[in-house]
Amino acid sequence: MLQSAIDSILVLAVLLNLAMLATSRMAACIRTFALQSLLLALLPIAVGLRHETIPGAHAFVITAGAVGLKVFLIPWILLRVLRTGEIHREIEPFIGFTASVMLGAVIIVASFAFAKRMPLPTEAPTDLLVPVSIATLFNGLLMLVSRLKAITQVLGYLVVENGIFVFGLLLLEQTPVLVELGILLDLFVGVFIMGIIVYHIRREFDHMDTHLLDALRES
Amino acid sequence: MTAVRAVLFVPEMLVVLALPPLLMSVIAKTKAWFGGRVGPPWLQPYFDLHKLIQKNAVYSKTTTWIFRAGPIISLAALLTAATLIPVLSNDSLLGFSGDIILLAYLLALGRMFTVLAAMDTGSSFEGMGASREVTFGAMSEPALFLAFVVMAVATKSLQLSEMIGPKLLPEWQIAGPAMILVVGALLVVLLTEACRVPVDDPATHLELTMIHEVMVLDHSGPEFAFITYGAALKFTLLGSILVHAAIPHPEGFNVLSPPLRVLELGGLAVLVGAIESAMARFRLNRVPMLIAGATVLSAIAVVLVLMRRTV
Protein backbone atom coordinates (compact mmCIF):
# COMPACT_ATOMS: atom_id res chain seq x y z
CA MET A 1 0.00 0.00 0.00
CA LEU A 2 2.65 2.47 1.07
CA GLN A 3 4.90 1.16 -1.65
CA SER A 4 2.34 1.89 -4.34
CA ALA A 5 1.69 5.32 -2.82
CA ILE A 6 5.41 6.14 -3.12
CA ASP A 7 5.44 4.80 -6.68
CA SER A 8 2.38 6.85 -7.61
CA ILE A 9 3.94 10.01 -6.20
CA LEU A 10 7.11 9.44 -8.20
CA VAL A 11 5.25 8.74 -11.45
CA LEU A 12 3.08 11.80 -10.90
CA ALA A 13 6.20 13.90 -10.32
CA VAL A 14 7.61 12.75 -13.66
CA LEU A 15 4.35 13.61 -15.40
CA LEU A 16 4.37 17.06 -13.80
CA ASN A 17 7.83 17.56 -15.33
CA LEU A 18 6.28 17.01 -18.73
CA ALA A 19 3.38 19.28 -17.86
CA MET A 20 5.86 22.03 -17.02
CA LEU A 21 7.60 21.51 -20.34
CA ALA A 22 4.25 21.76 -22.11
CA THR A 23 2.74 24.89 -20.54
CA SER A 24 3.40 28.28 -21.99
CA ARG A 25 1.73 30.24 -19.19
CA MET A 26 4.35 31.01 -16.59
CA ALA A 27 1.90 31.28 -13.69
CA ALA A 28 0.57 27.79 -14.44
CA CYS A 29 4.14 26.58 -14.71
CA ILE A 30 5.00 27.99 -11.27
CA ARG A 31 1.92 26.35 -9.74
CA THR A 32 2.81 23.03 -11.35
CA PHE A 33 6.24 23.33 -9.79
CA ALA A 34 4.68 24.00 -6.39
CA LEU A 35 2.50 20.91 -6.76
CA GLN A 36 5.49 18.79 -7.73
CA SER A 37 7.44 20.06 -4.74
CA LEU A 38 4.52 19.30 -2.45
CA LEU A 39 4.31 15.73 -3.71
CA LEU A 40 8.05 15.22 -3.39
CA ALA A 41 8.11 16.76 0.07
CA LEU A 42 5.80 13.98 1.26
CA LEU A 43 8.37 11.38 0.24
CA PRO A 44 10.76 11.60 3.24
CA ILE A 45 7.87 10.79 5.59
CA ALA A 46 6.57 8.00 3.36
CA VAL A 47 10.03 6.47 3.00
CA GLY A 48 10.57 6.84 6.73
CA LEU A 49 7.28 5.09 7.44
CA ARG A 50 8.45 2.17 5.35
CA HIS A 51 11.57 1.69 7.44
CA GLU A 52 10.17 2.08 10.92
CA THR A 53 6.78 2.61 12.44
CA ILE A 54 7.29 6.29 13.28
CA PRO A 55 9.62 8.29 11.05
CA GLY A 56 12.24 10.27 12.93
CA ALA A 57 12.14 14.00 13.52
CA HIS A 58 14.70 14.19 10.74
CA ALA A 59 12.13 13.33 8.04
CA PHE A 60 9.60 15.76 9.46
CA VAL A 61 12.10 18.64 9.53
CA ILE A 62 13.06 18.03 5.90
CA THR A 63 9.43 17.81 4.83
CA ALA A 64 8.50 20.96 6.71
CA GLY A 65 11.46 22.83 5.24
CA ALA A 66 10.69 21.68 1.71
CA VAL A 67 6.99 22.50 1.99
CA GLY A 68 7.58 25.92 3.51
CA LEU A 69 10.22 26.91 1.02
CA LYS A 70 9.38 25.22 -2.25
CA VAL A 71 5.61 25.06 -1.99
CA PHE A 72 4.90 28.47 -0.47
CA LEU A 73 7.80 30.90 -0.32
CA ILE A 74 9.54 30.43 -3.67
CA PRO A 75 6.36 30.17 -5.77
CA TRP A 76 5.10 33.27 -3.95
CA ILE A 77 8.29 35.21 -4.80
CA LEU A 78 8.15 34.08 -8.42
CA LEU A 79 4.46 34.89 -8.81
CA ARG A 80 5.15 38.31 -7.32
CA VAL A 81 7.94 38.95 -9.81
CA LEU A 82 5.62 37.77 -12.56
CA ARG A 83 2.79 40.03 -11.48
CA THR A 84 4.92 43.17 -11.66
CA GLY A 85 5.90 42.42 -15.26
CA GLU A 86 3.85 42.51 -18.42
CA ILE A 87 4.97 39.18 -19.82
CA HIS A 88 3.02 36.15 -18.68
CA ARG A 89 3.81 33.64 -21.40
CA GLU A 90 6.75 31.92 -22.89
CA ILE A 91 6.12 32.69 -26.55
CA GLU A 92 8.83 31.12 -28.65
CA PRO A 93 11.25 28.89 -26.77
CA PHE A 94 14.33 27.59 -28.56
CA ILE A 95 12.70 24.16 -28.61
CA GLY A 96 8.96 24.09 -29.32
CA PHE A 97 6.49 22.82 -26.74
CA THR A 98 5.54 19.57 -28.48
CA ALA A 99 9.19 18.91 -29.32
CA SER A 100 10.30 19.55 -25.75
CA VAL A 101 7.62 17.20 -24.37
CA MET A 102 8.85 14.52 -26.77
CA LEU A 103 12.43 15.25 -25.77
CA GLY A 104 11.37 15.05 -22.11
CA ALA A 105 9.87 11.61 -22.75
CA VAL A 106 13.11 10.49 -24.41
CA ILE A 107 15.00 11.75 -21.35
CA ILE A 108 12.70 9.75 -19.07
CA VAL A 109 13.17 6.55 -21.06
CA ALA A 110 16.93 7.12 -21.19
CA SER A 111 17.14 7.73 -17.45
CA PHE A 112 15.33 4.46 -16.76
CA ALA A 113 17.89 2.66 -18.93
CA PHE A 114 20.73 4.56 -17.27
CA ALA A 115 19.55 4.04 -13.70
CA LYS A 116 19.62 0.28 -14.17
CA ARG A 117 23.39 0.36 -14.70
CA MET A 118 24.17 2.73 -11.90
CA PRO A 119 25.87 1.30 -8.80
CA LEU A 120 24.28 2.70 -5.64
CA PRO A 121 25.85 3.16 -2.19
CA THR A 122 22.68 2.01 -0.44
CA GLU A 123 19.62 0.16 -1.57
CA ALA A 124 16.89 2.40 -2.97
CA PRO A 125 13.53 2.35 -1.15
CA THR A 126 11.85 1.75 -4.50
CA ASP A 127 13.34 0.98 -7.89
CA LEU A 128 11.57 4.01 -9.35
CA LEU A 129 13.47 6.46 -7.17
CA VAL A 130 16.76 6.75 -9.04
CA PRO A 131 15.32 6.90 -12.57
CA VAL A 132 12.77 9.49 -11.46
CA SER A 133 15.42 11.66 -9.86
CA ILE A 134 17.65 11.51 -12.94
CA ALA A 135 14.69 12.20 -15.22
CA THR A 136 13.63 15.20 -13.12
CA LEU A 137 17.17 16.51 -13.07
CA PHE A 138 17.58 16.35 -16.83
CA ASN A 139 14.09 17.63 -17.57
CA GLY A 140 14.94 20.63 -15.41
CA LEU A 141 18.15 21.06 -17.34
CA LEU A 142 16.20 20.90 -20.60
CA MET A 143 13.90 23.64 -19.32
CA LEU A 144 16.89 25.67 -18.22
CA VAL A 145 18.56 25.66 -21.63
CA SER A 146 15.56 25.73 -23.95
CA ARG A 147 13.55 28.61 -22.50
CA LEU A 148 14.07 32.29 -23.11
CA LYS A 149 12.42 34.02 -20.18
CA ALA A 150 14.32 34.45 -16.96
CA ILE A 151 11.47 33.11 -14.81
CA THR A 152 11.18 29.81 -16.67
CA GLN A 153 14.94 29.45 -16.44
CA VAL A 154 14.75 29.91 -12.68
CA LEU A 155 12.01 27.26 -12.66
CA GLY A 156 14.25 24.92 -14.61
CA TYR A 157 16.91 25.39 -11.96
CA LEU A 158 14.38 24.63 -9.24
CA VAL A 159 13.25 21.47 -11.04
CA VAL A 160 16.89 20.36 -11.16
CA GLU A 161 16.98 20.83 -7.40
CA ASN A 162 13.83 18.74 -7.05
CA GLY A 163 15.63 15.95 -8.86
CA ILE A 164 18.53 16.22 -6.44
CA PHE A 165 16.08 16.22 -3.54
CA VAL A 166 14.63 12.91 -4.73
CA PHE A 167 18.12 11.49 -5.09
CA GLY A 168 18.89 12.63 -1.54
CA LEU A 169 16.18 10.29 -0.25
CA LEU A 170 18.60 7.46 -0.93
CA LEU A 171 20.76 8.75 1.87
CA LEU A 172 17.93 9.85 4.10
CA GLU A 173 19.39 8.27 7.22
CA GLN A 174 23.00 9.10 6.51
CA THR A 175 22.70 12.79 5.65
CA PRO A 176 22.64 15.18 8.60
CA VAL A 177 19.65 17.51 8.74
CA LEU A 178 22.03 20.42 8.64
CA VAL A 179 23.22 19.51 5.13
CA GLU A 180 19.66 19.19 3.85
CA LEU A 181 18.67 22.48 5.37
CA GLY A 182 21.82 24.05 3.96
CA ILE A 183 20.75 22.95 0.46
CA LEU A 184 17.30 24.44 0.99
CA LEU A 185 18.84 27.67 2.23
CA ASP A 186 21.10 27.84 -0.82
CA LEU A 187 18.06 27.36 -2.99
CA PHE A 188 16.21 30.14 -1.27
CA VAL A 189 19.12 32.55 -1.56
CA GLY A 190 19.54 31.57 -5.21
CA VAL A 191 15.92 32.29 -6.04
CA PHE A 192 16.01 35.49 -4.05
CA ILE A 193 19.00 36.76 -6.01
CA MET A 194 17.51 35.62 -9.28
CA GLY A 195 14.32 37.50 -8.43
CA ILE A 196 16.37 40.63 -8.03
CA ILE A 197 18.24 39.95 -11.27
CA VAL A 198 14.99 39.40 -13.16
CA TYR A 199 13.76 42.70 -11.77
CA HIS A 200 16.88 44.47 -12.99
CA ILE A 201 16.78 42.83 -16.41
CA ARG A 202 13.27 44.11 -16.77
CA ARG A 203 14.08 47.60 -15.58
CA GLU A 204 16.93 47.82 -18.01
CA PHE A 205 15.24 46.33 -21.08
CA ASP A 206 11.50 46.51 -20.30
CA HIS A 207 11.15 42.76 -20.53
CA MET A 208 12.76 39.68 -19.07
CA ASP A 209 14.04 38.03 -22.19
CA THR A 210 17.55 36.84 -21.37
CA HIS A 211 18.14 36.30 -25.06
CA LEU A 212 19.07 39.95 -25.52
CA LEU A 213 21.81 39.75 -22.90
CA ASP A 214 23.82 37.99 -25.59
CA ALA A 215 24.14 41.28 -27.38
CA LEU A 216 25.94 42.95 -24.46
CA ARG A 217 29.50 43.26 -25.62
CA GLU A 218 32.28 45.63 -24.89
CA SER A 219 33.11 47.45 -28.06
CA MET B 1 -16.98 -26.35 -31.60
CA THR B 2 -16.67 -23.07 -33.42
CA ALA B 3 -20.26 -23.35 -34.60
CA VAL B 4 -21.49 -23.75 -31.02
CA ARG B 5 -19.38 -20.82 -29.95
CA ALA B 6 -20.79 -18.71 -32.78
CA VAL B 7 -24.35 -19.52 -31.76
CA LEU B 8 -23.58 -18.68 -28.14
CA PHE B 9 -22.31 -15.31 -29.29
CA VAL B 10 -25.50 -14.40 -31.16
CA PRO B 11 -27.31 -12.71 -28.25
CA GLU B 12 -24.17 -10.81 -27.22
CA MET B 13 -23.52 -9.61 -30.76
CA LEU B 14 -27.14 -8.48 -31.09
CA VAL B 15 -26.81 -6.38 -27.95
CA VAL B 16 -23.48 -5.01 -29.15
CA LEU B 17 -25.03 -4.00 -32.45
CA ALA B 18 -28.05 -2.42 -30.80
CA LEU B 19 -26.12 -0.54 -28.12
CA PRO B 20 -24.15 2.19 -29.98
CA PRO B 21 -27.00 4.63 -30.77
CA LEU B 22 -28.14 4.39 -27.16
CA LEU B 23 -24.67 5.44 -25.97
CA MET B 24 -24.83 8.46 -28.28
CA SER B 25 -28.16 9.20 -26.66
CA VAL B 26 -26.55 8.99 -23.21
CA ILE B 27 -23.93 11.54 -24.28
CA ALA B 28 -26.61 13.84 -25.69
CA LYS B 29 -28.67 13.53 -22.50
CA THR B 30 -25.64 14.28 -20.31
CA LYS B 31 -24.84 17.38 -22.32
CA ALA B 32 -28.47 18.46 -22.13
CA TRP B 33 -28.47 17.93 -18.36
CA PHE B 34 -25.37 20.09 -17.99
CA GLY B 35 -27.08 22.77 -20.05
CA GLY B 36 -30.26 22.56 -17.97
CA ARG B 37 -32.30 21.17 -20.85
CA VAL B 38 -34.31 17.99 -21.23
CA GLY B 39 -32.59 16.86 -24.40
CA PRO B 40 -33.84 14.65 -27.24
CA PRO B 41 -35.77 11.45 -26.43
CA TRP B 42 -33.68 8.42 -25.49
CA LEU B 43 -34.48 6.65 -28.74
CA GLN B 44 -33.86 9.64 -31.00
CA PRO B 45 -30.69 8.17 -32.62
CA TYR B 46 -32.70 5.08 -33.61
CA PHE B 47 -35.45 7.25 -35.12
CA ASP B 48 -32.83 9.21 -37.03
CA LEU B 49 -31.28 6.04 -38.42
CA HIS B 50 -34.71 4.71 -39.36
CA LYS B 51 -35.56 7.94 -41.17
CA LEU B 52 -32.24 8.01 -43.03
CA ILE B 53 -32.55 4.38 -44.16
CA GLN B 54 -35.88 5.12 -45.84
CA LYS B 55 -34.57 8.06 -47.82
CA ASN B 56 -32.99 7.99 -51.24
CA ALA B 57 -29.33 8.78 -51.66
CA VAL B 58 -28.30 11.72 -53.84
CA TYR B 59 -25.01 11.49 -55.70
CA SER B 60 -23.06 14.36 -57.15
CA LYS B 61 -22.06 13.99 -60.82
CA THR B 62 -18.39 14.44 -60.01
CA THR B 63 -18.25 11.41 -57.74
CA THR B 64 -17.24 7.90 -58.73
CA TRP B 65 -17.83 4.47 -57.24
CA ILE B 66 -15.34 5.26 -54.48
CA PHE B 67 -17.80 7.73 -53.02
CA ARG B 68 -20.47 5.03 -52.83
CA ALA B 69 -18.10 2.37 -51.55
CA GLY B 70 -16.68 4.58 -48.77
CA PRO B 71 -19.45 4.33 -46.16
CA ILE B 72 -20.09 0.65 -46.88
CA ILE B 73 -16.45 -0.39 -46.52
CA SER B 74 -16.00 1.75 -43.40
CA LEU B 75 -19.00 0.15 -41.74
CA ALA B 76 -17.91 -3.33 -42.85
CA ALA B 77 -14.45 -2.76 -41.39
CA LEU B 78 -15.97 -1.67 -38.08
CA LEU B 79 -18.34 -4.64 -37.99
CA THR B 80 -15.38 -6.96 -38.57
CA ALA B 81 -13.53 -5.19 -35.78
CA ALA B 82 -16.53 -5.83 -33.54
CA THR B 83 -15.87 -9.57 -33.84
CA LEU B 84 -12.33 -9.10 -32.48
CA ILE B 85 -13.10 -6.91 -29.48
CA PRO B 86 -14.60 -8.30 -26.29
CA VAL B 87 -17.45 -5.93 -25.52
CA LEU B 88 -19.75 -7.51 -22.98
CA SER B 89 -18.13 -10.82 -22.02
CA ASN B 90 -14.42 -11.43 -21.54
CA ASP B 91 -14.20 -13.20 -24.87
CA SER B 92 -14.39 -12.18 -28.50
CA LEU B 93 -16.03 -14.06 -31.36
CA LEU B 94 -13.08 -14.43 -33.73
CA GLY B 95 -10.12 -13.57 -31.53
CA PHE B 96 -6.76 -15.10 -32.40
CA SER B 97 -3.19 -14.45 -31.37
CA GLY B 98 -2.01 -11.24 -33.00
CA ASP B 99 -5.47 -9.88 -33.71
CA ILE B 100 -4.53 -6.45 -32.33
CA ILE B 101 -2.63 -5.71 -35.54
CA LEU B 102 -5.65 -6.66 -37.64
CA LEU B 103 -7.86 -4.57 -35.36
CA ALA B 104 -5.70 -1.46 -35.64
CA TYR B 105 -5.59 -1.73 -39.41
CA LEU B 106 -9.29 -2.45 -39.74
CA LEU B 107 -9.84 0.88 -38.03
CA ALA B 108 -7.27 2.42 -40.38
CA LEU B 109 -8.98 0.84 -43.42
CA GLY B 110 -12.32 2.30 -42.39
CA ARG B 111 -10.73 5.69 -41.95
CA MET B 112 -8.96 5.46 -45.31
CA PHE B 113 -12.19 4.84 -47.19
CA THR B 114 -14.03 7.62 -45.39
CA VAL B 115 -11.17 9.90 -46.38
CA LEU B 116 -11.11 8.68 -49.99
CA ALA B 117 -14.86 9.17 -50.29
CA ALA B 118 -14.43 12.70 -48.95
CA MET B 119 -11.66 13.47 -51.44
CA ASP B 120 -13.74 12.01 -54.25
CA THR B 121 -16.30 14.79 -53.98
CA GLY B 122 -13.67 17.34 -54.96
CA SER B 123 -14.93 19.77 -52.33
CA SER B 124 -12.19 21.84 -50.75
CA PHE B 125 -13.83 21.66 -47.32
CA GLU B 126 -13.95 17.89 -47.39
CA GLY B 127 -10.33 17.71 -48.49
CA MET B 128 -9.42 19.86 -45.51
CA GLY B 129 -11.36 17.62 -43.13
CA ALA B 130 -9.73 14.56 -44.70
CA SER B 131 -6.28 16.00 -44.17
CA ARG B 132 -7.01 16.72 -40.50
CA GLU B 133 -8.54 13.31 -39.91
CA VAL B 134 -5.50 11.57 -41.37
CA THR B 135 -3.08 13.75 -39.42
CA PHE B 136 -4.72 13.10 -36.06
CA GLY B 137 -5.33 9.45 -36.89
CA ALA B 138 -1.66 8.93 -37.70
CA MET B 139 -0.68 10.64 -34.45
CA SER B 140 -3.02 8.64 -32.23
CA GLU B 141 -1.89 5.31 -33.67
CA PRO B 142 1.43 5.18 -31.74
CA ALA B 143 -0.43 5.98 -28.52
CA LEU B 144 -2.82 3.09 -29.14
CA PHE B 145 -0.04 0.68 -30.08
CA LEU B 146 2.14 1.56 -27.10
CA ALA B 147 -0.88 1.02 -24.84
CA PHE B 148 -1.31 -2.39 -26.48
CA VAL B 149 2.37 -3.10 -25.86
CA VAL B 150 1.90 -2.42 -22.13
CA MET B 151 -1.00 -4.83 -21.91
CA ALA B 152 0.74 -7.42 -24.09
CA VAL B 153 3.79 -7.35 -21.83
CA ALA B 154 1.62 -7.49 -18.73
CA THR B 155 -0.43 -10.48 -19.84
CA LYS B 156 2.13 -12.15 -22.14
CA SER B 157 -0.48 -12.45 -24.87
CA LEU B 158 -1.12 -10.91 -28.25
CA GLN B 159 -4.82 -11.66 -28.36
CA LEU B 160 -6.92 -8.67 -27.50
CA SER B 161 -9.52 -10.60 -25.51
CA GLU B 162 -6.77 -12.00 -23.26
CA MET B 163 -4.81 -8.76 -23.09
CA ILE B 164 -7.72 -6.90 -21.60
CA GLY B 165 -9.20 -9.90 -19.86
CA PRO B 166 -8.92 -11.29 -16.31
CA LYS B 167 -5.13 -11.62 -16.64
CA LEU B 168 -4.85 -7.85 -16.40
CA LEU B 169 -6.24 -7.85 -12.87
CA PRO B 170 -2.98 -8.72 -11.03
CA GLU B 171 -1.20 -6.09 -13.12
CA TRP B 172 -3.20 -3.37 -11.39
CA GLN B 173 -1.53 -4.46 -8.16
CA ILE B 174 2.00 -4.88 -9.54
CA ALA B 175 2.15 -1.84 -11.77
CA GLY B 176 -0.81 0.33 -10.83
CA PRO B 177 0.75 3.63 -11.97
CA ALA B 178 1.52 2.19 -15.41
CA MET B 179 -2.07 1.00 -15.82
CA ILE B 180 -3.44 4.41 -14.85
CA LEU B 181 -1.26 5.98 -17.53
CA VAL B 182 -2.49 3.46 -20.09
CA VAL B 183 -6.12 4.20 -19.24
CA GLY B 184 -5.43 7.94 -19.60
CA ALA B 185 -3.80 7.40 -22.99
CA LEU B 186 -6.68 5.20 -24.14
CA LEU B 187 -9.16 7.88 -23.15
CA VAL B 188 -7.37 10.43 -25.33
CA VAL B 189 -7.24 7.91 -28.18
CA LEU B 190 -10.96 7.32 -27.77
CA LEU B 191 -11.74 11.04 -27.87
CA THR B 192 -9.53 11.44 -30.96
CA GLU B 193 -10.78 8.43 -32.89
CA ALA B 194 -14.42 8.98 -32.06
CA CYS B 195 -14.09 12.68 -32.95
CA ARG B 196 -15.32 14.09 -29.65
CA VAL B 197 -14.44 17.29 -27.78
CA PRO B 198 -11.63 18.44 -27.18
CA VAL B 199 -10.28 17.11 -30.48
CA ASP B 200 -13.31 17.57 -32.68
CA ASP B 201 -16.76 18.94 -31.96
CA PRO B 202 -19.44 16.68 -33.42
CA ALA B 203 -22.07 19.40 -33.00
CA THR B 204 -20.19 22.22 -34.66
CA HIS B 205 -21.93 24.06 -37.46
CA LEU B 206 -18.98 25.61 -39.28
CA GLU B 207 -17.29 23.58 -42.02
CA LEU B 208 -13.97 25.29 -41.39
CA THR B 209 -13.67 23.91 -37.87
CA MET B 210 -15.05 20.41 -38.43
CA ILE B 211 -12.96 17.31 -38.79
CA HIS B 212 -15.15 14.26 -39.07
CA GLU B 213 -18.48 15.91 -39.89
CA VAL B 214 -17.08 17.88 -42.81
CA MET B 215 -15.94 14.71 -44.54
CA VAL B 216 -19.43 13.29 -44.69
CA LEU B 217 -21.30 16.42 -45.80
CA ASP B 218 -22.07 14.99 -49.24
CA HIS B 219 -23.37 11.66 -48.07
CA SER B 220 -27.11 11.25 -47.81
CA GLY B 221 -29.83 8.72 -47.14
CA PRO B 222 -28.85 5.16 -46.18
CA GLU B 223 -25.16 5.87 -46.62
CA PHE B 224 -25.31 8.67 -44.11
CA ALA B 225 -27.10 6.26 -41.79
CA PHE B 226 -24.17 3.86 -42.20
CA ILE B 227 -21.75 6.64 -41.33
CA THR B 228 -23.70 7.79 -38.28
CA TYR B 229 -24.09 4.24 -37.05
CA GLY B 230 -20.44 3.50 -37.81
CA ALA B 231 -19.29 6.47 -35.73
CA ALA B 232 -21.40 5.27 -32.80
CA LEU B 233 -20.10 1.73 -33.21
CA LYS B 234 -16.50 2.97 -33.26
CA PHE B 235 -17.14 4.81 -30.01
CA THR B 236 -18.60 1.66 -28.46
CA LEU B 237 -15.73 -0.56 -29.58
CA LEU B 238 -12.91 1.71 -28.49
CA GLY B 239 -14.87 2.52 -25.36
CA SER B 240 -15.13 -1.13 -24.46
CA ILE B 241 -11.35 -1.57 -24.89
CA LEU B 242 -10.94 1.31 -22.45
CA VAL B 243 -13.51 -0.06 -20.01
CA HIS B 244 -12.04 -3.56 -20.10
CA ALA B 245 -8.54 -2.22 -19.47
CA ALA B 246 -9.71 0.06 -16.69
CA ILE B 247 -11.92 -2.46 -14.87
CA PRO B 248 -10.85 -6.03 -15.60
CA HIS B 249 -13.52 -8.46 -14.43
CA PRO B 250 -12.20 -11.60 -12.75
CA GLU B 251 -12.86 -15.01 -14.24
CA GLY B 252 -16.03 -16.87 -13.34
CA PHE B 253 -18.10 -13.75 -13.21
CA ASN B 254 -20.13 -14.73 -16.22
CA VAL B 255 -23.71 -13.89 -15.36
CA LEU B 256 -23.10 -10.51 -13.83
CA SER B 257 -20.43 -9.38 -16.23
CA PRO B 258 -22.42 -8.37 -19.35
CA PRO B 259 -24.97 -6.14 -17.55
CA LEU B 260 -22.10 -4.54 -15.61
CA ARG B 261 -20.26 -3.86 -18.86
CA VAL B 262 -23.31 -2.12 -20.29
CA LEU B 263 -23.46 0.05 -17.18
CA GLU B 264 -19.73 0.79 -17.42
CA LEU B 265 -20.07 1.79 -21.07
CA GLY B 266 -22.96 4.02 -20.05
CA GLY B 267 -20.73 5.53 -17.38
CA LEU B 268 -18.04 6.15 -19.98
CA ALA B 269 -20.61 7.88 -22.20
CA VAL B 270 -21.61 10.09 -19.25
CA LEU B 271 -17.93 10.90 -18.68
CA VAL B 272 -17.46 11.86 -22.33
CA GLY B 273 -20.61 13.97 -22.16
CA ALA B 274 -19.29 15.66 -19.02
CA ILE B 275 -15.93 16.37 -20.69
CA GLU B 276 -17.77 17.88 -23.65
CA SER B 277 -19.86 20.07 -21.39
CA ALA B 278 -16.97 21.15 -19.19
CA MET B 279 -14.40 22.11 -21.78
CA ALA B 280 -14.22 23.72 -25.18
CA ARG B 281 -12.45 22.01 -28.03
CA PHE B 282 -8.78 22.81 -28.40
CA ARG B 283 -7.43 25.08 -31.05
CA LEU B 284 -6.46 22.95 -33.99
CA ASN B 285 -2.74 23.49 -33.44
CA ARG B 286 -3.04 22.46 -29.77
CA VAL B 287 -4.57 19.09 -30.62
CA PRO B 288 -1.26 17.45 -31.68
CA MET B 289 0.04 18.40 -28.23
CA LEU B 290 -2.79 16.46 -26.58
CA ILE B 291 -2.24 13.39 -28.72
CA ALA B 292 1.54 13.59 -28.31
CA GLY B 293 0.86 13.76 -24.57
CA ALA B 294 -1.12 10.53 -24.80
CA THR B 295 1.74 8.90 -26.70
CA VAL B 296 4.17 10.02 -24.03
CA LEU B 297 1.90 8.59 -21.30
CA SER B 298 1.82 5.25 -23.09
CA ALA B 299 5.58 5.31 -23.59
CA ILE B 300 6.23 5.94 -19.89
CA ALA B 301 3.79 3.15 -19.05
CA VAL B 302 5.78 0.81 -21.31
CA VAL B 303 8.97 1.73 -19.47
CA LEU B 304 7.35 1.22 -16.07
CA VAL B 305 5.85 -2.12 -16.95
CA LEU B 306 9.07 -3.38 -18.55
CA MET B 307 11.03 -2.35 -15.48
CA ARG B 308 8.68 -4.28 -13.20
CA ARG B 309 9.07 -7.32 -15.45
CA THR B 310 12.84 -7.47 -15.35
CA VAL B 311 13.31 -6.80 -11.64
Name chain B contacts of A8, Cβ cutoff 8 Å: 176-177, 180
Question: What is the rounded average pLDDT of the residues B278-288?
Answer: 83
Chain A residues contacting B, CB < 8 Å? 4, 7-8, 11-12, 14-15, 18, 22, 97-98, 101-102, 104-105, 108-109, 112, 116, 127-128, 131
B10 touches A at CB < 8 Å:
no
B307 touches A at CB < 8 Å:
yes
Name chain A contacts of B296, Cβ cutoff 8 Å: 18, 101-102, 104-105
> What pLDDT, on a 0 to 100 scale, did the predictor assign at position A55?
66
Q: Is the pLDDT of residue B70 over 60?
A: yes
Please write the tens of the pLDDT for every residue from B99-153. 899 998 899 999 999 999 999 988 888 888 899 899 998 988 999 999 999 988 8
Please write the tens of the pLDDT for every residue from B81-105. 998 898 888 888 888 888 899 998 8
**Cα→Cα distances A61→A53, A57, B104, B122, Å:** 17, 6, 53, 69
Distance CA A111, CA A133 (A): 9
> What pLDDT, on a 0 to 100 scale, did the predictor assign at position B43?
92
Residue A57, burial from CB neighbour count under 10 angstroms (0-12, 13-18, 19+): exposed
Asked whether the beta carbons of B214 and B128 are under 8 A apart, the reply is yes
Give me the domain span that covers residue B194. Answer: 2-310
Q: How many whole angstroms from its chain centre is CA B287?
A: 18
> What pLDDT, on a 0 to 100 scale, did the predictor assign at position B26?
94
Asked whether the beta carbons of A47 and A74 are under 8 A apart, the reply is no
Please give chain A's pLDDT, 219 residues, in tens: 677 788 888 888 888 888 888 888 888 888 999 999 999 988 888 887 776 666 677 778 888 888 888 888 888 888 887 887 666 676 677 888 888 888 988 999 899 888 888 887 777 777 888 899 999 999 999 988 888 777 888 888 889 888 888 888 887 767 777 777 777 778 778 877 777 777 777 776 666 666 666 766 665
Q: Domain ranges for chain A, please list them.
A: 2-213
φ/ψ of residue B205, rounded to 5: -120, 5
Could you give the number of structural domains in chain B? 1
Q: How many whole angstroms from its chain centre is CA A119?
A: 24
Using pLDDT thresholds of 50, 70 and 90, give the confidence band for residue B180. Answer: confident
Using pLDDT thresholds of 50, 70 and 90, give the confidence band for residue B45. Answer: very high
